Amino acid sequence: MQALKGRVAAITGAGSGIGRGMAMAFAREGMKLAVMDIDLSAAEAVAQEARGAGAEAMALACDVSSRAEVRGAADRIFDRFGAVHVLCNNAGVTLFKKVAHMTDADWDWMLGVDFMGIVYGYQAFVPRMVAQGAGGHIVNTASGAGVIPDVVEDHTAYAASKAAAVALAVNLRLELARENIGVSALCPGMVRTRILEAGRARPAKFGGPSGEAEQVPGMADPMHDAMDPEEVGRIVVRGIRENRKYIFTHPQGRGRVTEYYQRMLEDFD
């Protein structure tokens, strides 16, 4: 998908972090934006910032763990813009907790946002993107943990959901190729976001908010040298234009991926 100017992008989890980075990158490309976030005030702030960059933008409150909210947001976006050409299933949360200590609410929250949030995005947007016949692109924000799931301890639920996000993207890519709709799995390394504070917006149905930031095992300062989200946005724009199956943000991760799959190949004996 080469031409972005005048096209419409819908982004979940766009009130901060990578979602905001993508929104601003798209705004600079002349796209129209639907900025979705569970925090409406955060979504409106990003939409206003995008308007300042010359883009037409709307803000919507959307909890992606709710099928009804995602469908309602899609209805409003199509009513406003008449089409969606780029869908970014970006909203995500994280939790560092041993499986033996995970509660039902923990599992439901993690999978409800990081996995089912993508499924609901597909259900709400993909049939209409196909029907409009104008091509397009879909980006699932996964993680390096979705490709190498055993990097950090106590991160099992997150790694599982992000591996699922990768699988959803690369298989849907096969299905939508004939529709001229590309699909990419975005697999970032450490990016300067607020994901370690994701519990601040944890809905009551999943146990309610937490004021404590997640602690990454073995990392005193996990955001040290983290990538700027706006750089991720620029990388995503390039990945869409090149119709990449995977969009990696950190080239230095190549060696770790090679090592991981080499270990896998060694088990074929």
172-182 per-position pLDDT tens digit:
999 999 999 99
* CA–CA gap between residue 147 and residue 246 (Å, rounded): 10
**Catalytic one of 120, 122, 158, 260:** 158
| pTM score, whole prediction | 0.94
Is 140 part of a structural domain of the chain? Answer: yes
* CA–CA gap between residue 131 and residue 148 (Å, rounded): 36
Is 1 part of a structural domain of the chain? Answer: no
Task: Indicate if the pLDDT at residue 183 is higher than 80.
Answer: yes
- Distance set, CA 246 to CA 56, 143, 173, 184 (Å): 29, 11, 11, 5
Is 158 part of a structural domain of the chain? Answer: yes
Is 96 part of a structural domain of the chain? Answer: yes
- Which residue segment(s) compose the domain that 209 sits in? 8-266
Is 3 part of a structural domain of the chain? Answer: no
* CA–CA gap between residue 75 and residue 71 (Å, rounded): 6
pLDDT at 220: 67
Q: What is the pLDDT of residues 41-84, one digit of tens each?
A: 999 999 999 999 999 999 999 999 999 999 999 999 999 999 99
What CATH number did the domain enclosing 58 receive? 3.40.50.720
The model's confidence at residue 121, banded by pLDDT at 50, 70 and 90, is very high
* CA–CA gap between residue 55 and residue 42 (Å, rounded): 17
Q: Residue 158 catalytic?
A: yes
Half-sphere exposure of residue 141, counting CA atoms within 13 Å on the CB side?
31
**26, 52 Cβ separation under 8 angstroms:** no
Is 2 part of a structural domain of the chain? Answer: no
* CA–CA gap between residue 35 and residue 251 (Å, rounded): 29
pLDDT at 138: 98
Is 37 part of a structural domain of the chain? Answer: yes
- The strand ranges marked E within 6-134 are 8-11, 32-37, 57-61, 86-89
Which H, E and C letters describe 238-256, residue by residue?
HHHHCCCCEEECCHHHHHH
CB atoms within 10 A of CB 28: 17
The model's confidence at residue 225, banded by pLDDT at 50, 70 and 90, is confident
Q: Which residues pair with 183 in a beta bridge?
A: 138
pLDDT at 152: 84
* CA–CA gap between residue 9 and residue 22 (Å, rounded): 9
How many structural domains are present in the chain? 1
Contacts with 49 (C-beta within 8 Å, 6 or more apart), sequence order = 20, 23, 24, 27
Is 183 part of a structural domain of the chain? Answer: yes
